[in-house]
Structure 1
């Protein structure tokens, strides 16, 4: 059964946007390093990006539920394209400063949050419930290929040719993604306040409505809790993985890059397996088993010093992460009412972003004692995630939205 024209349009727009993201992953730090040699200011670009996404997530969730999501997706991508065009011209004419680069990154981070939330909220309206796993798997596959395999090397190559080229490429890709999204159907959001003719509620009230719904829904709330914990577990080892690969596995920079590329292949396999894996045991045990795999692979990684063994373990780890993410996203799409998809998704994303920050901080602190400790502790966090999933994700997991 095909997923339909609407999904193909959304998938294409997402793929183009993801490719731009992959180029940005390499080229934006290179641009920062071309402006300043202060490592704090170079790293500050990534810090700014994370902070902006955290700050804007909740209000954007409200807008995604208030307004037509297709319009927001189109506008976010077109505006990203325009902002990058301005940045590229600043580079081309030799007027680029760190302030301009930081401002461009803040704009991109804000618009990326809007595009991601709107695209996720649109998907359930384009795909039959029975095809949500397959649809989310295809979206994840495109993101993985663009972010991990195609975008970074392309960004590095373009930057080597000319500093402005990857920025022009990113702007063009985002602009084309916005134009492609124009082919999506328009579905104006209908809100209870508008139906009764009452005045629009404040942002704070609407944000609270989403967070309260999330806290009260056993399954979706549990998924959010598991996601936050899993983010801590993920960042514990990955925040120091480059040092782990160098000191424990004996890999140089090239070897580390190959290790990451190999591990991404496991994630790509997971995008194709997720829909098939969950059909027999169901969401509950597929999620629990995938989280158990994450715990086991990190436990093995903590004690190995063999690069090939580490590569296999990391590939299995990324496979688990992909299966978990596809299943969790499909469950959210099944269970969250359409009028709350933006706000509940935003609240979930905030918890995950906070988990990433906590995990990175703990990873650095524990890694200063021994590089194997954050890897082992990350495995322990996934044991907790597995237990929470097995206990809480019971009952009619695939039931209709409440």
Structure 2
């Protein structure tokens, strides 16, 4: 069953943007490798990708809640198209430098905090039927995963090898297409409730909302553990596959593809799982299966068995992302949605560097399987916590309450508008 023309345009814009983002991440890493062999200078490029979310995650949420979300996405889309066009020109005349790449990564990362937040906040309004948010988010994440993880890496690598500038040309074309598709999306997507004029007050309002909501606190607690554990497991995956599983360098991408295949399946089955088990059980189940997949991978030296574990992990992570992301949209008032998404992103991205460092320490103290084993145990613990705190009864009760509050807010706004029209009519008659 379709989700409507507006959703189809948003889906197409998201797919085009994700394809461009996937090509950009591969191409800029390959370009950086041509410019430097210094591991510190190279790793700084990756570190700069985390920085915008840590610093701007919540302020960008304030912008998204104050302004029309489609227009913000259009502005950022035009900006990132222009920035990539400048980089393309620099590559074409052989004037690209490492410092230019640093600037590009920072600027595009800052834009990403607004763009991703805006698109995520638009979904409930675009879909209309809040009961179908899991289906909509599953389709969006599935298309994004297919474009970003399946199509983009081999495309970017092949084109870059022939002509570096051509890879960034694909970038520019994808980002421009995403902006045009967003331009063709009809409607206004601005929160209707007035907000505090000071940014610090607006951010504090969102923090108090999340802190005061039982389910948001529980979901955020699980997100912290899952983000930390996932970063720990992934920190040394290259060394683990090579030295423990014996996977040659040429086949490393194929091993990672198993997780992407599982994730694609998860994005398409998440709505079905939530409908069959209930949203609360689906979240607990996905965390437990993630941990079991990691355990299976850590317990073997067979690359084939480890690939099965990695695919299970990919499936379960995407089920979690779709179900919890949809529930977050469902429980949050529209006027707070951008800032609430920002809080989750700041927390999740904030613990990932710590998880990666912890993975290195554990591997040094034990072996290359130790970080994955510990990550599995942490994830299983998070699944147990989710089973206790995110029960179907609590989730359904919270949804009923949120829907009732939203209806009251909508009815109040419509009543105020009707009263205003009546007053204006009376003045005209006088």
SS across alignment from 2:399? coil
How far apart are 1:264 and its partner, in Å? 1.1
Cα distance between partner residues in 2 of 1:400 and 1:123 = 20
- Residue of structure 1 aligned with 2:251, choices 246, 252, 255: 255
Match of 2:301 among 301, 305, 315: 305
Change (3 A) 1:295 1:188: closer
Say what the alpha-carbon RMSD is for the aligned residues: 1.2
Equivalent residue number for residue 197 of structure 1: none
Question: Within the alignment, does 1:212 sit opposite 2:208 as a pair?
Answer: yes
Q: Corresponding residue for 1:372? A: 369
The Cα of 1:263 is off from its aligned counterpart by: 2.0
Hey, what's the Cα distance between the residues in 1 that align with 2:218 and 2:153? 34
State the match for 1:324 in structure 2: 320
CA shift at 1:397, angstroms? 4.5
| Deviation larger for 251-260 or 133-142 | 251-260
Q: Can you list the C-alpha shifts for 1:157-210, whole angstroms capped at 9, x where unaligned?
A: 1211111111121122111101110122223332324xxxxxx52111111111
* Residues 12 and 180, structure 1, Cα contact 8 Å, conserved in 2: yes
How far did residue 358 of structure 1 move?
1.6
Shift of 1:53: 2.3
* Deviation per residue, 1:24-70 (Å, 9 max, x gap): 22111111112222121111111011112221111100000000000
Choose which of 185, 188, 199 in structure 2 pairs with 1:186.
188
User: Using the alignment, how far apart are the partners of 1:393 and 1:399 within structure 2?
Assistant: 15
TM-score between the two structures when normalised by the length of structure 1: 0.96
Question: 2:132 is matched with which residue?
Answer: 131
Q: CA deviation at 1:355?
A: 2.1
Note if contact 1:335-1:399 (Cα within 8 Å) is conserved in structure 2.
Answer: no
User: Secondary structure at the residue paired with 1:177?
Assistant: helix
Counterpart of 1:55 in structure 2 is: 55
Q: How does 1:67-86 map to 2 (within 5 A)?
A: 67-86=67-86
Contact 2:298–2:306 (CA<8 Å) still a contact in 1? no
Q: How many residues align?
A: 396
Report the CA distance between 1:400 and its aligned residue: 4.7
Write out the 4+ residue segments of structure 1 that deviate beyond 3 Å after TM superposition.
none
1:1-400 matched pairs, under 5 angstroms? 1-127=1-127, 128-184=129-185, 185-193=187-195, 201-369=197-365, 370-394=367-391, 395=394, 396-400=397-401
Counterpart-to-counterpart distance in 2, 1:3 and 1:364: 45
- Judge conservation of contact 1:21–1:147 (CA < 8 Å) in 2: yes
TM-score, with length taken from structure 2: 0.90
Which residue matches 1:196? none
Contact 2:138–2:268, Cα closer than 8 Å, also in 1: yes
Change (3 A) 1:397 1:302: farther
CA distance in 1, matches of 2:45, 2:330: 36
**Distance in 2 of aligned mates of 1:168 and 1:59:** 31
Give CA-to-partner distance per residue, 1:119-177, whole Å, 9 cap, x none: 00000001111211110100110111111110111111121111111112112211110
Structure 1 regions of 5+ residues with no counterpart? 194-199
Contact 1:284 1:397 in 2 (8 A): no
**CA gap 1:400/1:90 in 2 versus in 1, 3 angstroms:** farther
Q: Radius of gyration: which is bigger?
A: 2
Cα displacement (A) at 1:255: 2.1
